[in-house]
Amino acid sequence: MIIAVDGPTASGKGTIAKALAAHFGLPHLDTGLLYRAVGRQVMINGGDPDNPDDATLGCAFPESLLDDPTLRSEETGGLASRVSIHPEVRATLLERQQAFAHQPGGAVLDGRDIGTVIAPEADVKLFVTASVEARAQRRYLEMRERGEAVTIAAIKADLEARDERDRNRTQAPLRPAPDAILLDTSHLDRAAAIELAISRIEEMR
Ligand code: DC
């Protein structure tokens, strides 16, 4: 069984994907982490994330970079969004994601284009959304817990810029597959969102 989980930043898609993988006993790939590694590698190389050649060179990141905690930062998320608009970067990362999706037994992948480009044949496609206010509030609490000095207004502006870039790029823009199940987590806590996702999949099966 291939489960595709797509949605914008801080929608809860990563949490839901991880929980589904545990529930159904499937391996999980956070594809955003690959784009984050490319963005980080471009900075290590002293390159420009908006330059397609520099961004493509960033695809040769070492595997160990995937364990680097700085990949989870908001700053790296912004870099990832910038390198992800280049078709060369998307093409380079495509095969790795498709091989993961098609491993025997299946897999759960989360990202922006899993149900539309990476695995349009997925058995289950979820598109997880939440209002920008709810997402900014979640990010704010997470960042404050880590001791980072941030304001909700700054986070909201950053999320909106990232959404805009992810939705309006020409290559694999963020949008639900026509047959995706839509899950709005704006008013759900973590446990309720996971429970809803599992029950929608069980109903479908
Ligand atoms: O899910 P995330 O916040 O870690 O993703 C970071 C960026 O990577 C996101 O803004 C756009 C890009 N991305 C993408 O283009 N396609 C994916 N499948 C996953 C992430």
CA angle (118, 97, 111) in 5-degree steps? 65
| Ligand 1 centre distance from Cα of residue 184 (Å) | 19
pLDDT of 30 > 90? The answer is yes
14 three-state secondary structure: helix
Hey, where are the domains in the chain?
2-204
pLDDT in tens, 117-154: 999 999 999 999 999 999 999 999 988 998 888 999 99
In this structure, the residues whose C-beta lies within 6 A of any atom of ligand 1 are 9, 31-32, 35-36, 77, 80-81, 84, 111-113, 162, 166
pLDDT of residue 161: 93
pLDDT in tens, 86-100: 999 999 999 999 999
Q: How many CA atoms lie within 13 A of 170 on its CB side?
A: 3
As given in the structure block, the two tokens for residue 125 are 């496609």
pLDDT band at 205 (very low <50, low <70, confident <90, very high): confident
Single-letter amino acid code for the residue at 39? G
Buried b (16+ CB within 10 A) or exposed e, 7-38: bbbbbbbbbbbbbbbeebebebbbbbbbbbbb
pLDDT of residue 100: 98
pLDDT of residue 37: 98
- Contact assessment for residue 59 and residue 92, using Cβ atoms and an 8 Å cutoff: yes
**Residue from 11, 31, 114 whose mutation best tests the ligand 1 pocket (most atoms within 8 A of CB):** 31
Burial class (CB in 10 A: 0-12, 13-18, 19+), 180: buried
Please report, in angstroms and rounded to a whole number, the separation of the first and last CA atoms in the chain: 11
CATH topology assigned to domain 2-204: Rossmann fold (3.40.50)
- Contact assessment for residue 110 and residue 31, using Cβ atoms and an 8 Å cutoff: yes
| Ligand 1 centre distance from Cα of residue 198 (Å) | 23
| Ligand 1 centre distance from Cα of residue 111 (Å) | 6
pLDDT in tens, 47-99: 999 999 999 999 999 999 999 999 988 899 999 999 999 999 999 999 999 99
Ligand 1 atom closest to 162 (CA): 10
| Ligand 1 centre distance from Cα of residue 80 (Å) | 6
As given in the structure block, the two tokens for residue 65 are 């970079």
pLDDT in tens, 144-178: 998 888 999 999 999 999 999 999 999 899 999 99
pLDDT of residue 146: 87
- Give the residue, by CA position, lying nearest to ligand 1 atom 18: 111
